[in-house]
Amino acid sequence: MSLLNALRPGGRHGVPTSESRDPIGLVVAGLNRLAQSDVLDRVGLRKQAEQAVFTVTRTGFRSVTTASRTFARAGSAGRPGSRVPSSPRTGVFDLTPTEDEQMLVDLVSEYAAEVLRPSASEADEACEAPEPVLKAGLEIGLPVLGVPEVLGGISEERSAMAGALVAEALAHGDMGLAVAALAPGSVATALGLWGTEAQQQTYLPSFTDGDVPAAALALTEPTVLFDVLSPATTAVRQADGGYRLDGLKSAVVRGAQAELFVVGAELDGSPCLFLVESSTSGLTIESDPAMGVRAASLTRLHLDGVTVPAEALLGEADGSTYTECVRLSRIAWCALAVGTSQAVLDYVTPYVKGREAFGEPIAHRQSVAFMVANIAIELQAMRLLTYKAAGHVAAGKDAARSTALARKACADKGMQIGLDGVQLLGGHGFVKEHPVERWYRDLRAVGVMEGSVMI
Amino acid sequence: MINLDEPKKFRPLVSQAHQVAMNMLRPVSRTYDKGEHEYPRELDMLASMIDGLSESGAAEGAGANGVGRGDDAKAKERSQASGTKNGANLASVLSIAEMCWGDVGLLLSMPRQGLGNSAIASVANDEQLERFAGVWAGMAITEPGTGSDSANIRTTARLDGDEYVIDGEKIYVTAGDRADHIVVWASLDRDLGRAAIKSFVVPKGTPGMRVDRLEHKLGIKASDTATIIFEGCRVPAANLLGSPEVDSKQGFAGAMATFDNTRPLVAAMAVGCARASLDLTRDLLAQAGVEVDYDRPAQNQSAAAARLLEMEADWEGAYLLTLQAAWMADNKVPNSLEASMAKAKAGRVGSAVTLGCVELAGSIGYSETELLEKWGRDSKILDIFEGTQQIQQLIVARRVLGLTSAQLR
């Protein structure tokens, strides 16, 4: 039986399990084995393969998580943390950002244009966000955007709209770097929204004092038809009141550097969030580079008998906090899609006006011009849907439906924009000389990713 | 401060329109779909009610006459005080969407709410505004040989003393039979191109203008669509809307300004009609045990639920683009681009949603026992009149790419 299995091609290399080999296939498979065998190398028929060196670009490399700093325990676990109020409900239809939001967007746009965009290609290649880039992001205050003022942050009221605008502006520079830069702030925002006094006072000082730890929101799991509301990762209550966590998370941003994870796991039938420090034993990190968003150094996080104290539970145990977190994350991904889609539009516009075919700019042809028009139309619809959902969150209204509609539009139309962007550049769209192929890969993330970032 | 929810102050207006749509339009919706060209008598009562509401101020300036204009100084003052204005344009798109949730054809037949009224409201001078107050004006642009390229119309207006003499044939005039006035586009001099095209208000009964015939149509059958012949039709020179100067620099802009104001209205019609389909289909699916869970991934739900979610998302995009265009008009921000974006998106979403709902509801959707099939027919015209899908894309493309009509044809 095991021999038979070994002869079957399915289940590996992207081959469906239903495939079988005929005699020719068996011969070809044998030749392939030989070609791969180091016998060839030993007899000097092929150059010695380079020693495989670990880089995060290689799938499946496993290592332990980084040692976290000692987060000094403070505050009372029994007391609720500080909260910011919802933003006021004006009841007036308005598309104008507040002055503060506009200032923030201007600042972040400059960072996106002058720091993120020039580093994007290399970071994508290296699957790593350069330290100076992330540092500059810290300097402009990305991690404390959603943190209450009383806890050292800058938010006086719920800053979901600012969060969405910032994510959009960052992704106009580069989505992968935007995700890397936003991840710690997302964890800080979560602490601000749901943390107890103890959780806020233990962790938030690290995010507000300058030496900001890498941190990640780990909700996604590598399963087909993954339903984020029913994670396979489990949390089991222990005799001492703590929890034992087991499972596998994916799309964990900069997992190898992260010192603090917010992990989604099911507890007594409800999905919950848990704060897990990277030094906790039982954690393993595995590189997991993907189609796009590569600068965010995506990883898998293995949780094998990880025990955390009772105070690790973040927010409610009834699934409400978790569901809210999922929505906030989806809106963030929508905003990222809007920013990257705008980058596509801004790039193809001069391109189609400059590129000539049949004696005139291709922009003069309706089939080309209409594609650009549709990018502009769908992009603006995506933007308005995203702002509407973010506005609901900021005002403390139910955002379930508006979030779902924004996500659907941004996943579908965002991908279409990526696709059309490459198409409009033709062969130039397919090569790395132009950034459009990267945006194409990045835009597929929307609708797939859960967690990682939130507003 | 960004907020995309329906303005709070228009809630009474919208719920009023909703009640009218539900209790007055829907009960006779099928009747006038069947009885094409019959006059919907119920509308006279309704029109009086709407006039009453307008006078009392409860209509918030909504309707065909309220779009596009407004006291600039007042708008500016208000926007400085509270940052932004929610005015007659937003009120109009919201109430029109609501009425079209009831019935598009009947909305188009509403006395004194014709597209010609919007044209008057958009380009008339103060004297004309006063003189034409309270009229019901249809809009006559299209000709047998000229649709989207309205700069190419053959109808002429020749100045003779203090009168213009109009000659030509106009087709597809919405409410052309029932309206008491027609706003007709004609050229002062066909050699001078688009700049010479002006619009004229012609009262019904003017010698030389006659309704030739009514069309039999795919949808919006409650609305009369007329062919109107002009033969030596004389109107006072003062009935020319806007400036009589042929200014080649300003060109077509005067006449086209109407469209910036009417396109969001037509987008609102598509949005309203599509919502009727969505609301009913959501209900029918729920009765069949299918409900959308907005938090679960679409692909983990039934195909019907996933489809409904997709249509809702598409619809919401069209709705928000429409509100955006109207909001910009309320705040005196040029909105040509956004008006065309709204019209393009709402036009195609109107068709996609109404036809998708017929499919989801199966033969119930296809049968005349329900109104889904009717909405599937009514919606199509909304992607055609006031500028087809393709014309909207052309306008958006030219604006986004910064190309002239000579470069991108």
In a domain, A397, yes or no: yes
User: Considering Cα of A243, then A249, then A255, then A258, what sign does the dihedral take?
Assistant: negative
Q: Which residue has the tokens 């594609």?
A: A371
Residues of A in contact with B12 (CB under 8 A): none
Chain A: give the shortest CA distance to residue B294, in Å: 5
Give the per-residue pLDDT at A53. Answer: 39
Give per-residue pLDDT as tens, A178-227: 999 999 999 999 999 999 999 999 999 999 987 899 999 999 999 999 99
Judge whether B168 and B143 are in contact, CB under 8 Å: yes
Number of domains in chain A: 2
Beta bridge partners of A218: A263, A451
Cα–Cα distances in Å, from A332 out to A143, A164, A232, A409, B155? 14, 6, 24, 14, 55
pLDDT the model gives residue A133:
96
- What is the phi/psi pair of residue B164, to 5°? -100, 140
Cα B252 from Cα B256, distance rounded (Å):
6
Token pair for residue B63?
């309707």
CB contact under 8 A, A384 and B401: no
Q: How far is CA A307 from CA A271, A311, B28, in A?
A: 17, 12, 67
| Sequence-distant (≥ 6) Cβ neighbours of residue B23 within 8 angstroms | none
For residues A296-309, give the mean pLDDT.
97
Q: What is the dihedral of CA B91, B338, B217, B311, to 10 degrees?
A: -90
A-proximal residues of B, 198-257, CB under 8 Å: none
Residue A30 resides in a domain: yes
Question: Within the 226-265 window of chain A, which residues sit less than 8 Å (CB to CB) from chain B?
Answer: 226-229
Q: CB neighbours of A238 closer than 8 A, spacing ≥ 6?
A: A244, A307
Q: Does A415 contact chain B (CB < 8 Å)?
A: no
Task: Specify the residue for token string 């924009």.
Answer: A417
ipTM above 0.90, yes or no: yes
Give the pLDDT confidence score for residue A156 in this predicted structure.
86
Contacts of A364 in chain B (CB under 8 A): 403, 407-409
Average pLDDT over residues B95-119: 93
Report the range of poorest mean pLDDT among A375-379, B7-11, B140-144, B240-244: B240-244
Domains of chain B: 8-123 (1.10.540), 135-241 (2.40.110.10), 253-401 (1.20.140.10)
Whether A400 is in a domain gets the answer yes
A27 lies in some domain:
yes
Read off the pTM: 0.93
Task: Name the pLDDT band for B46 (thresholds 50, 70, 90).
Answer: confident
Residue A279 lies in a domain: no
From A422, A386, A424, select the one nearest A405 (Cα to Cα). A386
pLDDT for the residue A43: 59
Angle among Cα B47, B48, B49 to the nearest 5 degrees reads 90
Inter-chain CB proximity A323 and B295 less than 8 Å: yes
- The whole-number pLDDT of residue B68 equals 63
Out of B7, B310, B338, closest to residue A92 by CB: B7
The encoded tokens of residue B245 equal 């100067």
pLDDT per position as a tens digit, A273-297: 999 999 999 999 999 999 999 999 9
In this structure, what CATH number is given to the domain that contains residue A433?
1.20.140.10
Show Cβ contacts of residue A374 under 8 Å, excluding neighbours closer than 6 positions: A420, B393
Least confident window among A63-72, A141-150, B78-87, B151-160: B78-87
The DSSP code sequence of A226-279 is --TTS-S-EEEE-TTS-EEEEEEEEEEETTTT-SEEEEEEEETTEEEEEEEETT
- Set of chain B residues whose Cβ sits within 8 Å of the Cβ of A326: 295
Residue type, A355: R
Task: Flag whether A378 is in a domain.
Answer: yes
Strand partners, A446: none
B107's enclosing H/E stretch is helix B104-108
Question: How many residue pairs bridge chain A and chain B with CB atoms within 8 Å of each other?
Answer: 173
Assigned domain for A133 exists: no
A39: confidence class by pLDDT, cuts 50, 70, 90 = low
pLDDT (mean) for A232-241: 97
**Portion 370-389 of A in contact with B at CB < 8 A:** 370, 372-374, 376-378, 380-382, 384-385, 387-388
> In angstroms, how far apart are the furthest CA atoms of chain B?
74
CB contact under 8 A, B345 and A377: yes
DSSP per residue, A132-172: HHHHHHHHTTGGGTTSBGGGTSSBSS--HHHHHHHHHHHHH
**A11-25: pLDDT as tens digits:** 888 888 888 888 878
Contact B105, B37 (CB under 8 A): no
B386 as an active site residue: the answer is: yes
Distance from CA of B386 to the nearest CA of A (A): 18
Give A 159-198 residues with CB within 8 A of chain B.
161
Give the residue numbers spanning the domain of A336.
327-452
Q: Let me know if residue A428 belongs to a domain.
A: yes
According to DSSP, residue B250 is labeled T
